[in-house]
Structure 1
């Protein structure tokens, strides 16, 4: 039998199709998730928690934001396991529908003035459903693009799913910015914010159309062919993959906290503390997110040529330093410097988050990748991005200073460096072994 390299046995057009499916589907789901995040900062404290003072209202709104992270492990446990048992593609269709329906219903939800405390209660439930969908989405989306692509270029191919958050954030904040600029304050709070949620139905329909046309990944097909699918993947990961799981979880904390500062907390801090207009802050986030669509795959590709952990680590150090410079720069209350600060912050985020997908999946063997990656992604989200906006707001209101906020981000980046030190570099031989097994039956038939 002729030697087989690590490249997947698919046409290049199928590789690009998988890349597009991973990118577009994740972007659509993170549009739904990001539009909630932005609304939690600028709308929900007023219409779902109006009985509270402004600070308490913001804390309560960010608490519902955190529910979306806390519920992610539920999705990671359910869908991560299924990804290793029934395939990557099937779970991606289910998760897209789940988060899409939840987001659409939020757009129809009556406010506190209409139905009282039932309104925020339903809001929390729908936010929980969103989180379950996102928790199951990430691992499958990463594997869809990376397992169709060349394992030697996994940083680039896996970055498809990583582009989803900035692309979704760009669309979400773009929609909110347009609505903010074209509607009065009264109309925006009355019905304008709902439009951004309701149009998600069209976006989800488009994402489903793309994903339903795809087959499952060559790696999963090879697992099926050799009968190597795990019977109890969660138990096996927890029993045999503890160090990789810890390494992958810690690696995510710094990027999650940094992203929450740049795209969520900055909305509140910039408007309430520094006096920027809502439109100015949203435009700054839009510019930073637009640039990330290009810097994410660039960072992933660079990590294929240079040691991935080194690229990731340098960006983590840069983010820790930037945390202090950012607030110092913002004290001038210049809209231009606001844009510069957010762009530089999201650039540091790109060079962590771009290579992150490849780093996380590389910690686990192919047969446990969906489960291990999903568990690491979702549980890290609880101690990273989930509580970050809440903690930022609490620290700022308690100490009346941005210094504790910057220290908080620095500590998160330090934990990421620990995770990178515990992790391992890419092992392409594992993919090659599965792909050889998957191609072997065809080659034997041709030789007869």
Structure 2
């Protein structure tokens, strides 16, 4: 009898050890996968600000070229909800792992093709059209990537640490920004302007193919999440998950989108538009701005994890809404420094502006993911998250360029930031905080009055 107990204990310990290993792999795979996705995406952002106006819109004025370049940038954001719906369907039908492999391949191939795309002077009007098509593929892939990466870590781990575990997908943003921006910074520093503008900017895009190969090896070793595996075993998968989540959880989808305004819109101003503004309006070298963004991203790598862990202790909404309010408060001082400050002050403004962003971006993954039941979570979280891309992230550099050109003052852009913070605070107050709820229990969502009664 004792021997039997010993064998049972050994089996239990072995199962716990394997689960712990899977949790670690899921967290690493989540972080590395989103790092690759965002590395590719930020490369495009940087190139859209510094290279693409001259390469793909050479006949346009500086202002028109920037508008056209940022318009192709916005196309990728418009495609994200489409990607969230497409991959949300498959993620809630066949599982998180298989779906994430497809999104990774799509993103990597599209980015590699951008790296070899000739300019308008070589192949004519086809060049910007192909660029837009590749940007669409990037956007669709990103749209399907985010919720899957979040769920891969969040559904494997300890529910008491959901904020921290889900945030491993979020750290892909600062790491991708460091790698993407860092690569561009290094090349712009060591190459002549002519060499960088001609072929140097292409190298980081081609390098993404190597990163994709690494990411695939890691993701292939991960098992399906226990929460979704349970749904499959109990035959509770939805025949039309996207239709069902929109029908029964439309409120959470809309609130999740609004929740992101003060996180996403200012972020793309702080990391992409700032490159154009400081270089063209203040005539400060682009290497200085790229280095400043690089330091800001490195700081956010730490602060995202810290604020996510804090949200597990004090509640997701408390941390998130504090970050939203701070974002609204820094808008005017931020642009006052960009307009009038010296390089030291500009450096600190760029770096410090990312702290309120981290307060939102870290806890955000769990806050949105927790709002939907397991069987509909991939599509629901992804659509809610990516809808904000259409109205907040994508148009941000485009609208900022237009506001500055139309009003002649950067404070119009600061007012835009304040508006985004107001929208986020309202939506954050209305969205239910499930930081301590059992998200593996369908009854959690039925009791909240969302969705059909579980079987």
How much is the aligned-residue C-alpha RMSD, in angstroms?
1.4
1:250 deviates by: 0.6
1:73 to 66, 71, 81: 81
- In structure 2, the residue matched to 1:445 is none
Following the alignment from structure 2 to structure 1, what is the Cα–Cα distance between the partners of residues 188 and 31? 27
Q: Distance in 2 between matches of 1:78 and 1:91?
A: 10
User: Aligned runs of 1:49-448 on 2, under 5 Å?
Assistant: 49-426=57-434, 429-433=437-441
1:61-92 Cα deviation digits (max 9, x unpaired): 00000011011111111101111110000111
Secondary structure, counterpart of 1:431 in structure 2: coil
- Note closer, same or farther for the CA distance 1:321–1:429 as it changes in structure 2 (3 Å cut): closer
> Relative to structure 2, which stretch is displaced further, 135-144 or 339-348?
339-348
1:428 offset after TM fit, Å? Answer: 5.0
User: Does the 8 Å CA contact 2:373/2:440 hold for their aligned counterparts?
Assistant: no
For 1:88 and 1:184, the matched residues in 2 are separated by 44
For the residue of structure 2 that corresponds to 1:408, the secondary structure is helix
How many matched pairs?
A: 428
Deviations 1:213-234 (A, max 9, x none): 1111011111111111111111
- Normalised to the residue count of structure 2, the TM-score between the two structures is 0.92
Matched-pair contact (CA < 8 Å) for 1:258–1:345: no
Distance 2:92 2:436 in 1: 19
1:266-321 CA-partner distances (Å, limit 9, x unpaired): 00001000111010000000000011111111111011111211110111010011
User: How many Å apart are 1:10 and its aligned residue?
Assistant: 5.7
Deviation at 1:37, TM superposition (A): 0.3
| Pairs within 5 Å for 1:12-23 | 12-23=20-31
Q: Offset of 1:17 from its aligned partner?
A: 1.2
Bigger mean CA offset, 47-56 vs 244-253: 244-253
Q: Which runs of 5+ in 1 are unaligned?
A: 1-7, 435-448
- Between the aligned partners of 1:427 and 1:105, the Cα distance in structure 2 is 42
**Equivalent residues of 2:367, 2:435 under 8 A apart:** no
Q: Is the 8 A contact 2:164 2:308 kept in 1?
A: yes
Give the direction of change, closer, same or farther, for the CA distance of 1:136–1:375 in structure 2 (3 Å limit): same
Cα gap change, 1:378/1:87 in structure 2, threshold over 3 Å: closer, same or farther? same
How far residue 202 of structure 1 moved from its aligned partner, in angstroms, is 0.6
Long gaps (5+) in structure 2: 1-15, 443-455
Distance, in Å, in 2 between the alignment partners of 1:372 and 1:431 is 14
Task: Supply the distance in 1 between the matched residues of 2:131 and 2:439 (Cα, whole angstroms).
Answer: 43
Q: Which position in structure 2 is the counterpart of 1:440?
A: none
TM-superposed CA distance for 1:429, in Å, is: 4.8
CA distance in 2, matches of 1:306, 1:88: 29
1:161-205 deviations in Å (ceiling 9; x for gaps): 111111101100000000100111111111011111111111111
Shift of residue 253 of structure 1? 1.5
Contact 1:326 1:341 in 2 (8 A): yes
Tell me, yes or no, if structure 1 residue 30 matches structure 2 residue 30.
Answer: no
Residues 1:39 and 2:47 aligned together: yes
How far apart in 1 are the matches of 2:357 and 2:187? Answer: 28
Q: Is residue 366–residue 430 contact of structure 1 (8 Å, CA) maintained in 2?
A: no
Name whichever of 382-391 and 420-429 sits farther off: 420-429
CA contact (8 A) 1:72 1:133 kept: yes
Check whether the contact 2:312–2:435 (CA below 8 A) recurs between aligned residues: no
> Residue 41 of structure 1: CA displacement?
0.3
CA contact (8 A) 2:114 2:205 kept: yes
CA contact (8 A) 2:227 2:440 kept: no
Rounded to whole Å, the distance in 2 between the matches of 1:15 and 1:337 is 42
Tell me the TM-score normalized by structure 1: 0.93
* Alpha carbons 2:58, 2:65 under 8 Å: kept: yes
Counterpart CA distance in 2 for 1:389 and 1:424 is 31
Match of 1:3 in 2: none
Between the aligned partners of 2:339 and 2:115, the Cα distance in structure 1 is 36
Measured in 2, the distance between the counterparts of 1:15 and 1:430 equals 18
| Residues in 2 aligned to 1:274 and 1:333: alpha-carbon distance in whole angstroms | 10
Deviation string, structure 1 residues 387-424 (Cα, Å, up to 9, x no partner) = 00000000001111011100111111111111111211
